[in-house]
Amino acid sequence: MRIEPTDLADVLVLTPEPFRDDRGLFTRTFDAVEFDVYLDAPGTAATFVQDSQSRSVRGVIRGMHGRSGPGEAKLVRCAHGAVHDVLIDIRPQSPTFGRRQAFLLDDIDFRHLYVPPGFLHGFQALTDVADVCYRIDRPHDPAQNIGVAYNDPDLAIDWPQPVTVVSARDAAAGSWRELLATLPRTER
């Protein structure tokens, strides 16, 4: 498995190396030992306590979601189909605060993301069906849900396909400016 940094501080791309033959393929989607060695943080992988999966149809956008308080770290991958995945750093002390980066996650390269606490996350399904899997490091607490509208003009996210469906929660999400007003003030 290759583990590489991204343009966003502390975000990693993990790329498995599938074995392919006439039967199809076999791949390890996560290796706790390699992950912990890369981070030089033994036991970090063992903190993942929850696995979740979503299924979306082409054009669906889920996001932009985050957590207040301690937040949550997660591994995100697309097990079936493809998604345009977007992360935005909302950690005021981070050198990449306010920056965003998009990634193609699919069932061909099996690339997935390590997202530390303090990011907004969202994606758009690029295929007829897209299954996204999340491995999360703490139980979900709905009271900590935060979000920004997927079409916020200040973020100006370039979604690659026409939007087909958005949840009522995502459609009613606040603005980037409203979220900024709630974040702790620090020297940037």
Per-residue pLDDT tens for 42-56?
888 878 899 999 999
Distance CA 97, CA 92 (A): 6
1 has a pLDDT exceeding 90: no
pLDDT of residue 147: 96
| Number of domains, the chain | 1
pLDDT of residue 31: 85
Considering the domain boundaries, does residue 34 fall inside one? yes
**Alpha-carbon dihedral 43, 66, 51, 2, rounded to 10 degrees:** -60
Considering the domain boundaries, does residue 85 fall inside one? yes
Query: Among all residues, which ones are annotated catalytic?
Result: 65, 134
Residues spanned by the domain of 128: 2-182
Of 120, 126, 106, 128, which Cα lies nearest the Cα of 61? Answer: 126
Considering the domain boundaries, does residue 66 fall inside one? yes
Considering the domain boundaries, does residue 188 fall inside one? no
**E-strand spans in 30-166?**
50-57, 61-67, 74-80, 82-89, 100-106, 112-115, 119-125, 129-136, 145-147
Considering the domain boundaries, does residue 12 fall inside one? yes
Rounded mean pLDDT, 29-45: 85
Residue with tokens 């399904």: 125
HSE toward the beta carbon, residue 145, CA cutoff 13 A: 11
pLDDT of residue 35: 86
* Element of type H or E holding 32: helix 32-39
Considering the domain boundaries, does residue 120 fall inside one? yes
Give residue 186's pLDDT band: very low, low, confident or very high (50, 70, 90).
low
- CATH number at 25 reads 2.60.120.10
pLDDT of residue 172: 95
pLDDT of residue 136: 94
pLDDT of residue 38: 85
Considering the domain boundaries, does residue 128 fall inside one? yes
Name the residue with higher pLDDT: 183 or 7.
Answer: 7
CA angle 53, 84, 24 (to 5 degrees): 65
Considering the domain boundaries, does residue 187 fall inside one? no
94-152 tens-digit pLDDT: 999 999 999 999 999 999 999 999 999 999 999 999 999 999 999 988 999 999 999 99
